[in-house]
Amino acid sequence: MPPSKFSASLKFGPFTVTGQVFHVSATQSSFALVNLKPLLPGHVLVSPVRRVPRLSQLSPQETSDLFLTVQRVARTIERVYKASALNVAIQDGVDAGQSVPHVHVHIIPRTKDDLKNQGGVDKIYDLMDSEEGNVGRDFLRAQQARQAWEKHREFASGPDSERKSRSEEEMRKEAEWLQAEMEKDDYDAEVTAMSGFDSTYILPRDTSATYEQKTQLLTIAWIVGILSVTIIISFFVWYFTQRFRKSARRPGDIERTYQNGIGMAHR
């Protein structure tokens, strides 16, 4: 569901991240947010709404919802970033590299040779454990920068005092874009459920298609299917009718056969 339908403000650890959230699960138990400093383009996080540091502290329902949300978000992330693979990882506890005391799952889209010049495919794990992957530090610095800016605004005047920082604006735009892409995928899933067919064969994966365009494509697909079935049935009816006519005897043939039979009997 869109974050706008979620009434409460969302927190990631001690940080308010409502503006970075692009998806909230239907049960409102999990949410997805864009990253302050992604290790690769499209690197996002998925967390439970309830703030606990360890995976084992989640209820069975929360755990199920968390990973269903990971699966749902990962599908859209892989599509929009044209990834061929994903890293899905949890740093479960401080000694595992967790920098924010709130369970979160990293989803990182991957492409072939994306880290070739930095050490290869497994370099991503070094990056996650390094300062570059220190999510908590990045959030803390951003919070401190916002606080400093708010303090400055008390003395600032003019149009510039209302201006948002570039990093916040970039994250907001990314979150809005991903939210729209998630909604497109949700529409495709609804079409699949209604049609009973795999949407891969019904709708093109052109994400720029509008609702009306997709509806028209679906209607055309049904019409083509019905016409195809009608043509096939008509052909078989015609074929078997011709066969039947060729095999049926005319009345004159039947009469001649009868007379020949009588003549042979008199002999």
Catalytic: 266?
no
Active-site choice (102, 104, 152, 266): 104
By the 8 A CB rule, do 53 and 63 touch?
no
Burial class (CB in 10 A: 0-12, 13-18, 19+), 93: middle
Beta bridge partners of 90: 105
Distance of CA 60 to the CA centre of its chain: 24
Per this entry, what is the length of the chain? Answer: 267
Task: Give the C-alpha distances (Å, rounded to integers) separating 47 from 14, 73, 116, 156, 184.
Answer: 13, 12, 30, 37, 22
Q: How do beta strands 105-110 and 85-90 pair?
A: antiparallel
Active site residues: 104
